């Protein structure tokens, strides 16, 4: 039996409901398996505009059969629903809070009410979290995931190694949705990244559906049969280059590309075509994501790459 905010879901059944603070209801599908087992929380659109996880979570809610499940799933396809409905990019529009960086955030009341809801009502009831993201509007990326590096690392990597995502990147963040749960509350979990550009390609949706089935299988909640999955590498350290000035950006590398020390990653120019700065790789690595648009904004992400010296093939 699963019970959230007074809503009871009997074993072998599912319910489609709204959960959250009174002032911020979010859609959810609650599924209680016929047999008792672990509880998996899956969230999408923590960042509005990162779409490809949302249909994958909705489809899972429709297709999952609680009669054959051992354990529960809490599926929340659109957490930042006010951002989604207003076309706001990533953050909570009411107070500009970032649910992947502002956990908790007393100075941002709407964001804080959502993070408090997860911290008090949801996280204590779950055994594992999958949080589905994409690259931003101008942020192409190669499929990758972030795992908690400071605690519950082995439990999180035990699920990551069953998925179909090649790059497993360490995160030391403590103030995001899944990372707060991991590093402050010791609940294992993963942040998955597929797709970008506010697009919602069928290929990305299906890949996320597969990730969800593989994770649920790894946790003993359901059996998904046999799937081929890719080779994986753990990246224990990554470099995150940010722009040092405003300007126009001309990138030279693509996500998934191997780079070598000294290689030019791109350069900025002013509006008259004068070169402002060249950005080069400080060491060998693999490009994870980067700015794919023309605009360079000081302090914003230019290129992120995994450091080759900190890479390790997962056996
Ligand atoms: Zn995101």
Fold of 239-310: OB fold (Dihydrolipoamide Acetyltransferase, E2P) (2.40.50)
47 C-alpha vs ligand 1 centroid, how far in Å? Answer: 5
Question: In the chain, which residues fall in CATH 2.40.50.100?
Answer: 239-310
What's the CA gap between 110 and 91, in Å, rounded?
Answer: 11
Q: pLDDT per residue over 136-174, tens digit each?
A: 889 999 999 999 999 999 999 999 999 999 999 999 999
264 C-alpha vs ligand 1 centroid, how far in Å? Answer: 27
- Write the CA distances from 86 to 21, 81, 83, 114, 219, integer angstroms: 19, 8, 5, 18, 36
13 C-alpha vs ligand 1 centroid, how far in Å? Answer: 31
- Following CA atoms 286, 301, 48, 53 in sequence, which dihedral angle do they give, to the nearest 10 degrees? 0
70 C-alpha vs ligand 1 centroid, how far in Å? Answer: 30
Q: Which CATH superfamily is domain 2-233 in?
A: Zn peptidases (3.40.630.10)
Q: pLDDT per residue over 275-284, tens digit each?
A: 999 999 999 9
Tokens standing for residue 169: 């990147």
Contact 195, 135 (CB under 8 A): yes
CA 295 to centroid of chain Cα atoms: 24
134 C-alpha vs ligand 1 centroid, how far in Å? Answer: 6
Q: pLDDT per residue over 77-121, tens digit each?
A: 999 999 999 998 899 999 999 999 999 888 999 999 999 999 999
What's the CA gap between 177 and 191, in Å, rounded?
Answer: 9
- Number of other CB atoms surrounding residue 189 within 10 Å: 29
Question: In the chain, which residues fall in CATH 3.40.630.10?
Answer: 2-233
Phi-psi region at 132: left, alpha or beta (left = phi > 0; alpha = psi -120 to 50):
beta
109 C-alpha vs ligand 1 centroid, how far in Å? Answer: 20
pTM of the prediction?
A: 0.96
82 C-alpha vs ligand 1 centroid, how far in Å? Answer: 16
Per-residue DSSP letter, 48: B
pLDDT, residue 284, reads 98
DSSP H helix total and E strand total for the chain: 6, 20
């Amino acid at each position: 039996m699963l019970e959230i905010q007074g809503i009871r879901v009997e074993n072998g059944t599912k319910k489609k409901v709204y959960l959250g603070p009174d002032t911020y209801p979010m859609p959810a599908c609650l599924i209680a398996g016929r047999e008792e087992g672990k509880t998996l929380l899956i969230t999408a659109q923590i960042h509005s505009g990162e779409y490809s996880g949302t249909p994958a979570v909705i489809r899972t809610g429709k297709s999952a059969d609680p009669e054959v499940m051992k354990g529960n799933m809490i599926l929340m396809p659109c957490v930042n629903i006010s951002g989604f409905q207003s076309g706001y990019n990533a953050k909570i529009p009411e107070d500009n809070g970032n649910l992947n960086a502002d956990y908790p955030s007393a100075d941002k009341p709407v964001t804080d009410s959502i993070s408090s809801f997860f911290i008090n009502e949801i996280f204590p009831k779950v055994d594992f979290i999958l949080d589905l993201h994409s690259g931003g509007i101008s942020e192409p990326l190669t499929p990758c995931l972030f795992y908690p590096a400071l605690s519950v690392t082995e439990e999180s990597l035990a699920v990551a190694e069953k998925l179909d995502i090649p790059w497993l990147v360490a995160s030391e963040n403590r103030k995001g949705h899944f990372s707060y749960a991991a590093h402050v509350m010791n609940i294992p979990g993963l942040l998955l990244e597929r797709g970008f550009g506010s697009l919602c390609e069928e290929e990305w949706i299906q890949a996320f559906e597969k990730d969800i089935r593989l994770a649920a299988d790894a946790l003993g909640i359901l059996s998904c049969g046999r799937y081929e999955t890719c080779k994986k590498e753990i990246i224990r350290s990554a470099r995150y280059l940010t722009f040092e000035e405003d300007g126009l950006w001309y990138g030279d590398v693509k996500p998934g590309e191997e780079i070598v020390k000294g290689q030019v990653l791109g350069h900025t120019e002013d509006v008259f075509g004068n070169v402002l700065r060249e950005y080069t790789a400080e060491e060998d690595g693999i490009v994870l994501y980067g700015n794919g648009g023309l605009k360079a904004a000081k302090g914003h992400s230019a290129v992120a790459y995994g450091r080759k010296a900190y890479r390790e093939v997962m056996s």
